Structure 1
Amino acid sequence: MSEASFTLFQNTVVGIEVILYACCLTAFFCPYMAGRKRGHPADIIKMLTVFASYSIIYFFNMAVSMGALVSMFSVIVLLTLTAKYLGMERESALFMGVVFFCIRNLSSLAVASVNFYTGRHLVKGEEGVERVLRNAALNFCLVELLQLVLFSALMYMVARQLRKCRMGLHIRELCYLLLTPVTGILFVNILFRILIVTAGELSIQLYEQYPVLIGIVPVAAALFYAGILVTIISYQKMMGLQEEKERYFVEQQQVHAIQERMAEVDQFYDGIRRMKHEMKNHLTNIKGLLESGDYGGMGQYISRMDESMDAFEFSIKTGNAVTDVIVNDRQKAAEKQGIRFRSEFTYPESERYDAYDIGIIVNNLLQNALEACGKMRQGGRYIFISSRQRRKFFLIEVRNPFEGEIIMDADTNLPISTKEEEPFGRQGSMHGIGLSNVKREAEKYMGDVDIRVKKNEFSVTVMLQERRQV
């Protein structure tokens, strides 16, 4: 192999490497880019944007040799600036870009020891420039392949960890998460500059003077990688605890609201009891109006009594005071908005269900249905709630129409809230937390939540199973 052929071969391998790394970067960003459906033209354009951001800059670097750090910085800045178009927050794009390049640098550092060892054995003892260049090309190809395989494995583990828990990044959290990967990038670049020292025509490798570095350098790279994973995992645990606290707070708020509403209902029932005691007085008044011939006054008096009685009467009776309050309140709210409301809900006969657990489920489902119908500009708006009991199982179903499109979260199988969202898709609204609370309540009863979308109708079915008595 001639020197020209070796240079051509080396440039070809580097070009292929640029394309492969651009594909890896696109695959890393793809799950976090907001879009419609996989394969939709708009999503394909977004993926091509990420791919082009990397490949164009690095091919340009091959032509003008502007430096690895400059290329890396350019790609990260470009991805951060186009984050809004990609459907991501800038903090998220910045974090993911830094993590990507840090792992690439660490994988390169980890195989540097292999490169030194294999390079010496493949080239050592060879005679002739062509054979030396041929073996050097073989070593270069094997090292680059090993680095790519190692990088892919490390990226897969990080991407898998990131998908376990959605994160909301603010400036303080971003600085905390970037500390380790930024330090790793700087450490790798500094170390690469001192591993090979050139003095005139003489090139000295630090590995030759300190052979122990052959083992220490990969260990240092592994420790930096472990630091990145530990930082992500610890932050996710903190976020998980925070989300659990928020869900618990929302649940307690709902229980407190139901309890306050129940207190109001008790006051209404007290009013009914008082009215029964006063019925003799009412009958005396009606009799007096009748005897005086004031039939008009008697009619008005009876009408006022009917209105007073209606105020203490529920139009929908579910068989339980808690669900009576919730369903009737949501019916009145729907009627005010011109939404048809129909209920075939009956509280389960079994005593192994907690009324407030059922109340939280019904309250969240009906509230979400009201919000969906409230956003509709045209078409028939309706809410239908029903229930059925089959032996030890109790099913609650709510159906309502909607406008727009629903994007399902691949991890939770729940819809992603269409309200303003925080970075990494974290749901910052009560709407998003509401369905999570429904699922949480269902899990108390070894149940599940089934969501179906058919044309423009959204249907949620909650299955509960009787809890065993302790």
Structure 2
Amino acid sequence: MDALISLVYTIIDSVCVCLFLDAFASHRWRNHRFLVGVIVQTILMYASIEFSVIALNRNQIVKILLILLSCFIVARTLYENISGRFLLFLIVVEYLLTYSLSFAVGMLANSVCGMDAQTFQADKALSLIYGISYYSAELFIIALFRKMMLQRMGNRPRSDAQHSQLILYFLFPCASFVMLVILLYVTSGHNIEEFVSAGCCILIFISNVAVLFLLERMEYAASEREQLLMLNQQIQLQSKNMTSASELYSAQRKKVHDFRAHLNILNQLMKNQEYSAAEEYLEKITEQQTDRLFLVNTHHPILDALFNTKAAEATQKKISIDFEVNDLSNLPFDVSDMVVLLSNLLDNAIEACQQYDKGDKAIHVMAVAQQDFFISVRNTSEPVVIISGSIPTTKPEPQMHGFGLANIRLIL
């Protein structure tokens, strides 16, 4: 049991070293290799502690030197953009800070329990409570220090709301620390006054209220983040449509230019009565014209550009697409909303057809304005799973995708 507890404490110490160094240096790797390095550092630190106990009769100086050396060797491998001297200095500083914190918490525990250090350490229960108190405080302080340093280096301004919320973040760990101190006091055989118990109850109540408030703020922040991602997707979508429309326009201009040249040549051949040559030339340019010409005409220039762009994209991906439209020039809807709505529908249809590999792929689009505006997009697709009225995205990093249908619902 003692060995397991010692291993847990060593893991926390190793994590705290890495959190402290994160505030001053950048990771050499950002994948599983960094985690492997942290595990190696933990093993070396634990081996140093056990070696000092077994072979060196608990020689504290050698144990400290071995721990510092193992941390330096591993950290030199895990971190970059930092000199070796400065890295060693940071590791020594971190060890001194955590050692000082350990000594302060130990003295406080001895004073609360009214015992000397040897009597306190001999009590297993008190030692365990002390360990939980100290290592919780160490992890919290180092993590908070890392966060503050990263924000400061990133030059990110803090709002007044964030400063006030920082007090709420402190409430729960402070309440936990107070309760652990009282637990130490009671465990050592002392009695506490009723007003202390009442104060603890009030502190716990306030801490829980703070936690509920912070959870509500987290939910609100998550909702805002989702809206920002949706807006970002709309911007990217409109940018993509503008680029595609520009490319389609350039290609159309090239075709018009070539068409005029072909007409001039055919005109000269006909004037010279070279009918066989004209016929042969016409067959040749007909063979070269392999692209299907889309002329979706709704009398709405933006929707025409969108429909023709998506039609060209679908054709390039070997998807058959046809349109059933009428005059849409008098639509009363916002143009940007229409672009986002139809772009998401057509993009989803094209993507679904690409994933289908069992036969012909087809998309049928209907956009008809009469007394009402009717939109329909039907496409070939694999069977889809509907969960709670929604189709979950199958793309990697789903938290960054799956906003297309949400945008459609929002506009409708």
Give the alignment's TM-score, normalised by structure 1.
Answer: 0.44
Normalised TM-score (structure 2): 0.49
In proportion to residue count, which structure has more helix?
2
Task: Tell which has more relative contact order, 1 or 2 (C-alpha 8 A, sep 6+).
Answer: 1
